[in-house]
Amino acid sequence: MSLSQNQFNLYLLRHGKTKGKPALNGHKDVVVDDSIQNAIAHRVLEQYSFSKVYASPLIRCQRVAELVTGLNPTLKLVIEPRLKEQSFGDFDGIPFDDLTHEWKKLEQFWANPAQNTLPNAEPLQVGYERVTEAWEQIVQHCEQDTLIVSHGGPIRFILAHVLGLDWQNPQLYTSLSIDNQSITHIQISKFAGKVFFSVKAIGIPLI
């Protein structure tokens, strides 16, 4: 079997820009304008080729995944709950304008999210382990080019995992730009029972 037959592309799509005031949107089910969702679905099918789609169950990801598979019914869609964004607890989905009295906690969180979990939020380590567990299973079973529709946090977790970076490093979340409706491309090669990774692109704008 040739190397190309053991080589697969995984395209990590971050969902489109959500409606509403700026906030830490984690598990809260916020929506993306349907015109944006449709544009993303058409563009990703125009620019990339894949046979399977995984998606976070949050509507901002699941909706675009359903549009993609609706446009191409030959694609298999798998909803994977472990690909969800972090839960930001008491601050999840609350506009920043309404959290001015909690600004010190937010600043501490942004300065070092691994060590400053927000009230009743999912610890960063728990989120990292959840997402990378899902990623490893996807890679293990990958036998075709695949689209993964997820969120900024999980995509950063996956990149840290693949590149051997410290997932606790605050700069991973403040300096690594993964914009809305962007594609991160990771190629995997399976050979002699091992998996080799090659990061081809990070945060390429889709629309």
Residues 118-158: pLDDT tens digits? 999 999 999 999 999 999 999 999 999 999 999 999 999 99
Q: Does domain 3-205 have CATH number 3.40.50.1240?
A: yes
Q: What pLDDT band is residue 11 in, cutting at 50, 70 and 90?
A: very high
pLDDT over 80 at 110, yes or no: yes
Phi, psi of 113, rounded to the nearest 5 degrees: -65, -30
- Mean pLDDT over the full length of the chain: 96
Model pTM?
0.96
Ranges of each domain in the chain: 3-205
pLDDT the model gives residue 1:
43
Residue 5 vs residue 75, higher pLDDT = 75
Residue 111 in contact with residue 170, Cβ under 8 Å? yes
- Report the pLDDT averaged over residues 58-62: 98
